[in-house]
Chain A
């Protein structure tokens, strides 16, 4: 029975991670940027949710569209003002730029909200659903379901809209896409905005299921980056598979050796790098040598 309990926890975790890591994979896939600031975007989204909830008492899940849309706009502004200038210098500079952004956000959150853990209390915070002998904590179930809904919407958008097609085209062949009239600048800022929107939506979700604290963005980002390394950097399906796998590993760790959980987590990633360095669904690209 314990196995099933562990598996179901793991899948719930994996569902949430899927949304959080897909934005990171999207940004990397289209822009070749390792967006280290994603964790900070996520945590700041959670703080915004907490602030609104604290003032109004609104059901936090309802804030998903608001925060996501806001973060989408912010992402476009950040890309157009900062990244567009640094992008030509290559990934080793953009990663430093986003590291700087993460520090600014961490410092600002610390100054605004103080060095204290915050958490959103809802009517279902302490509840759990029971199915036979298996326990499902309500906040995790709700967060995971909402993540799945957002992810499906994102997927449909990428598959069915013109912008989604343009994004996928750019990810596959940037120059080719530019030749057929896809403005690289526009699509890049759009991709960054979209990636940041998933962090906004994710921020709302982690505010109901985790205690939040500015410096936790380091833990988030290293988890999420680990997931996309496992899944294969620029691949969203890879990110989802990686999320599920690592969600289950984490749930197992939490059950059997709680103090070492993170180590199991990274252990799986290191192992995967040993045997499949390009990640589960990653392909070695052709652009390396012409």
Chain B
């Protein structure tokens, strides 16, 4: 069924490209049609490029056409200086646009704030101003005029038609490549949950800057061709915010985050634009209409026309399908094998030794305003142990986790992991070093399937790893095996948001095993999940621990903690109140008081 649909989609794509290639051959007199299609190509190229940053990585840019202008002017200036046509400089236009994006991105994409969308408009206006005022280089507001090629009289638009078409094919190929690569999975994970992405080894800053550069590339490439096609450029035309409006609209109407949505949207908006010109709509009416279309799309078809139609069709098809019954109890009983090399790193030089520390926290402080969430914590986690971290709500357990994993910077104090001071390191570096953590409220990537969620983590940050196909190679085999071990293999293709909370917790656990972690930090793994799954979970923890993986567990389920852990730290008001073996902690009066109140009779309580 699936392979059939795949070939069908492929057939449509081949047909689409074939028709576009053949139009000038079959219809030699189609100069007007070709010029209209050139605009379609241009919009489709821009919308697809925008899609890489704003559709996949989720960072909306409202001034993206600045890169078109950069490409246009790069080609134009080099063409003027050398006396040849501007389109020869298309590759240089592309590199210039990418370099510019790199520069801007390195400044504006470091944080996860909304400052980016704001800066994009300002950048467009600033560059327009620079180009207008730097008269010696750009010709100022008078712009630059080019001589047209000698073939223009006989061949008309056809050579340009093919140039634009080539860029469109390249752009679609680029987006397709990204979406299939782990890089693309990384972009989507940033869109879905940026801090989670960082915790599973994705260098979010680097990824965002890469997304920005890649999304600028098609603009620079097509820009240098476009300027020759126009024959004349000036700052207001090249850096018009209206172009940005069109391209955002095209991507949105078609469907952002998809491969063909922006292409479809580009054609759609180009035709709509042409129609409004034919029916004599002035520029004002056009702005008004584009605004209405944008508001309408955001309100009623936020996923885009292509996606909405596809969803409708799929629903109609799915009506006849029967729902598969999944025997969860049987799955939980079953003992799937696990090749431990798939979830662990190569054994370190020193053999696991229970007296050696894997993680040391020294004098850690973190406050929020007046609240001292972590108030001078010092602790030492032994390699190969299962250490529990308990304490009343608000005692600072999760904040301590966040400081150890780098989600927050600590105010003072140090964290040493595997002998290295990691206090100032980014979350993704810590993940690469073998630190994995789950979250109290699961943070999975909601737009992805279970399997996609598992292949998203980046164990080693190499370029080859980032560009590899996410659904091929040993990573997928590992992911399948871990899912099977967790009893989740029947949900492989399900969207994670379709799973129960407990299942999501197991998926998140499985996900961090993909990092081959030395230490696994679980934040309330058992809260809100049913006893069968808790059983599954503690089996998994024990099995991994037997193989040498260290665990640090925050949990309120006291019987589970006491049964599982070798050692327990009790946190209260941001400080470690008691540390000891389960036996010592269970009998400590201060702990009993903190948890149960001072006057509770404990004789009959079996904990």
The answer on A and B forming one complex is yes
Interface residues of A (CB under 8 A from B): 28, 34, 36, 82, 85-86, 89, 91-93, 95-97, 99-108, 110-111, 115, 214, 218-219, 221-222, 225-226, 228-229, 233, 259-260, 262-263, 266, 269-270, 273-274, 277-279, 282, 286, 288-290
Tell me whether A270 and B60 are in contact (CB under 8 A).
Answer: no
The answer to whether residues A289 and B407 also contact, given A93-B298, A219-B125, A269-B122 and a CB cut-off of 8 A, is yes
**With the chains together, A228 CA to B130 CA distance in Å?**
23
What distance in Å separates the Cβ of B72 from its nearest Cβ neighbour in chain A?
Answer: 20
Partner of A273, one of B115, B285, B293: B115
Tell me whether B295 and A97 are in contact (CB under 8 A).
Answer: yes
**With the chains together, A36 CA to B248 CA distance in Å?**
14
**With the chains together, A214 CA to B294 CA distance in Å?**
19
Identify the closest chain B residue to A109 (Cβ).
B284
Partner of A103, one of B112, B287, B398: B287
Considering only residues 99-133 of chain B, those with a C-beta below 8 Å from chain A are 107-108, 110-115, 117-119, 121-123, 125-126, 129-130, 133
What distance in Å separates the Cβ of B301 from its nearest Cβ neighbour in chain A?
Answer: 12
Residues of chain B within 8 A (CB-CB) of A270 are 107-108, 119
The answer to whether residues A86 and B288 also contact, given A226-B118, A260-B133, A262-B125 and a CB cut-off of 8 A, is no
**With the chains together, A85 CA to B368 CA distance in Å?**
33
Tell me whether A289 and B287 are in contact (CB under 8 A).
Answer: no
The answer to whether residues A290 and B302 also contact, given A92-B60, A110-B287, A273-B115 and a CB cut-off of 8 A, is no
Residues of chain B within 8 A (CB-CB) of A110 are 283-284, 287-288
Tell me whether B126 and A106 are in contact (CB under 8 A).
Answer: no
Tell me whether B291 and A100 are in contact (CB under 8 A).
Answer: yes
Q: Would you list 19 pairs from A and B whose C-beta atoms are within 8 A, ordered by A residue?
A: A34-B117, A36-B121, A86-B298, A96-B298, A99-B294, A101-B295, A103-B287, A105-B291, A106-B287, A214-B284, A221-B121, A225-B118, A225-B121, A233-B115, A262-B126, A277-B110, A288-B112, A289-B443, A290-B441
**With the chains together, A221 CA to B119 CA distance in Å?**
11
Identify the closest chain A residue to B241 (Cβ).
A218
Tell me whether A266 and B122 are in contact (CB under 8 A).
Answer: yes
What distance in Å separates the Cβ of B431 from its nearest Cβ neighbour in chain A?
Answer: 14
Task: Give chain B's interface secondary structure class.
Answer: helix
| B402: interface (CB < 8 Å) | yes
**With the chains together, A28 CA to B252 CA distance in Å?**
23
| B313: interface (CB < 8 Å) | no
Identify the closest chain A residue to B104 (Cβ).
A270
**With the chains together, A101 CA to B297 CA distance in Å?**
12
**With the chains together, A260 CA to B135 CA distance in Å?**
13
The answer to whether residues A233 and B114 also contact, given A100-B295, A103-B245 and a CB cut-off of 8 A, is yes
What distance in Å separates the Cβ of A288 from its nearest Cβ neighbour in chain B?
Answer: 5
**With the chains together, A101 CA to B108 CA distance in Å?**
26
Contacts beyond the supplied A104-B288, A259-B133, A277-B110: 8 A-B pairs with Cβ under 8 Å:
A92-B54, A93-B302, A103-B291, A107-B286, A218-B241, A229-B119, A274-B107, A290-B439
What distance in Å separates the Cβ of B117 from its nearest Cβ neighbour in chain A?
Answer: 6
| B440: interface (CB < 8 Å) | yes
Query: Interface size (B, Cβ < 8 Å)?
Result: 54
| B590: interface (CB < 8 Å) | no
| 10 closest Cβ pairs, A-B complex | A107-B288, A103-B291, A100-B294, A110-B284, A104-B291, A107-B287, A100-B295, A225-B118, A277-B111, A222-B122
The answer to whether residues A273 and B114 also contact, given A97-B295, A103-B288, A290-B398 and a CB cut-off of 8 A, is no
Tell me whether B368 and A82 are in contact (CB under 8 A).
Answer: no
What distance in Å separates the Cβ of B435 from its nearest Cβ neighbour in chain A?
Answer: 15
Residues of chain B within 8 A (CB-CB) of A28 are 114
**With the chains together, A288 CA to B196 CA distance in Å?**
10
Tell me whether B62 and A36 are in contact (CB under 8 A).
Answer: yes
| B290: interface (CB < 8 Å) | yes
Tell me whether B302 and A102 are in contact (CB under 8 A).
Answer: no
The answer to whether residues A233 and B113 also contact, given A82-B299, A85-B299, A99-B248 and a CB cut-off of 8 A, is yes
Identify the closest chain A residue to B292 (Cβ).
A104
Tell me whether B62 and A266 are in contact (CB under 8 A).
Answer: no
**With the chains together, A36 CA to B63 CA distance in Å?**
12
The answer to whether residues A106 and B122 also contact, given A93-B298, A97-B299, A288-B195 and a CB cut-off of 8 A, is no
Residues of chain A within 8 A (CB-CB) of B288 are 103-104, 106-108, 110-111
Tell me whether A290 and B248 are in contact (CB under 8 A).
Answer: no
Considering only residues 223-255 of chain B, those with a C-beta below 8 Å from chain A are 241, 245, 248, 252
Residues of chain A within 8 A (CB-CB) of B284 are 107, 110-111, 115, 214
| B548: interface (CB < 8 Å) | no
**With the chains together, A266 CA to B252 CA distance in Å?**
29
Tell me whether B119 and A273 are in contact (CB under 8 A).
Answer: yes
Residues of chain B within 8 A (CB-CB) of A85 are 299
Identify the closest chain B residue to A271 (Cβ).
B107
| B58: interface (CB < 8 Å) | yes
The answer to whether residues A277 and B115 also contact, given A99-B62, A110-B287 and a CB cut-off of 8 A, is yes
| B289: interface (CB < 8 Å) | yes
Tell me whether A269 and B129 are in contact (CB under 8 A).
Answer: no
**With the chains together, A97 CA to B299 CA distance in Å?**
8
Considering only residues 259-302 of chain B, those with a C-beta below 8 Å from chain A are 283-295, 298-299, 302
Residues of chain A within 8 A (CB-CB) of B130 are 263
Tell me whether B402 and A289 are in contact (CB under 8 A).
Answer: yes
What distance in Å separates the Cβ of A236 from its nearest Cβ neighbour in chain B?
Answer: 17
Tell me whether B111 and A92 are in contact (CB under 8 A).
Answer: no
Residues of chain A within 8 A (CB-CB) of B122 are 222, 225-226, 266, 269
Residues of chain B within 8 A (CB-CB) of A278 are 111, 113
**With the chains together, A106 CA to B407 CA distance in Å?**
42
Identify the closest chain A residue to B59 (Cβ).
A92
